[in-house]
Amino acid sequence: MSVTARVPAKVNVQLSVGGPRPDGFHDLANVFLAVGLYDEITATPANAITDPPRLTCSGPDADQVPLDRTNLAVRAAELLAAHHGISPAVHLHIAKDIPVAGGMAGGSADAAGALLACDALWDTKTPRAELLSLCAQLGSDVPFSLVGGAALGRGRGELLTELPVGGDFHWVFAVADGGLSTPAVYREFDRLATGPIPEPAPSPALLAALRTGDPHALAASLANDLQPAALSLRPALADTLDTGRAAGALATLVSGSGPTCAFLTEDADSAASVARALRASGTCRTARTATGPAPGAALLN
């Protein structure tokens, strides 16, 4: 018997970043939108007590995924087992489709999926509020991977308020060769800061654009404070953004800490043609289309 959870990627439609806190994190106003690129995490009972849980991974980028305790999915299974005082005897398998280290919360998605799948496999029936608190211990973006849809994240991004969305938005994601380290991008953000950094705040125009589902209004209000830092570490991303803009995207931005670039388009046809232009341009490894909002982590069986 095994249990599989499916978990979406995310794009940050607004990432407003404050100054560094004493604990090294940054206070955020982080507007997450889940999009329909998914990882699937399967939990199967392990025959013997395995410590740490065994992890395997499949998919085109599987060779870039760590299979030891540095993988958040392994830590999620261990944390849930410790929370209930049981053994983390499990084999986790990740069928990976979300870009690795790309700023689309793929690692966080795997952690949320591992929690949900193990909770079902072990029949531990963890209440939702406890699951969310375990998610927050694993990483700032993990609670959103569980919740999906759209949400405003405050604090370091883990304190969520779900947001209403009035329609489907059509996106293209340009996947770069190689990832970017999130801590390195935040360090670069600190290095580039010139004066006092204002308190992060959600944009009323952006929240209204999500509510109405109007892609032109959303395009006018997309914002990512980490984008200059990601571009400073990876200047070639400017060519990727220019290519998508020239191909007809309504707006372009780096997704989270990058290096994946996100392009908001008018409709599905426009998304397909922007993706074609990006693939042909040689400015990215590949381009994918997806719509958002997408549902959060869910069991498939």
Residue numbers of the site for ligand C5P (CB under 6 A)? 24-26, 28, 139-141, 156-157, 182-183, 186
Closest CA to 251 of 281, 222, 285: 222
Closer residue to ligand C5P (CB): 33 or 247: 33
Which helix (DSSP H) or strand (DSSP E) does residue 90 occupy? strand 90-95
Q: Is 10 a catalytic residue?
A: yes
Task: In whole angstroms, give the CA distance from residue 20 to residue 190.
Answer: 7
List the one residue out of 49, 52, 54, 39 whose CA is nearest residue 4.
39
**156 or 288: CB nearest ligand C5P:** 156
Give the active site residue among 10, 61, 96, 119.
10
Do the beta carbons of residue 275 and residue 131 sit within 8 Å? Answer: no
d(CA 64, CA 142): 20
Nearer to ligand C5P, 24 or 166 (CB): 24
Residue tagged active-site, from 97, 141, 225, 242 = 141
237, 259 contact by CB (below 8 A) = yes
**Shortest Cβ 45–ligand C5P spacing (Å):** 29
Residue 12 or 283 having the CB closest to ligand C5P: 12
Is residue 141 part of the annotated active site? The answer reads: yes
**Active site residues per annotation:** 10, 141
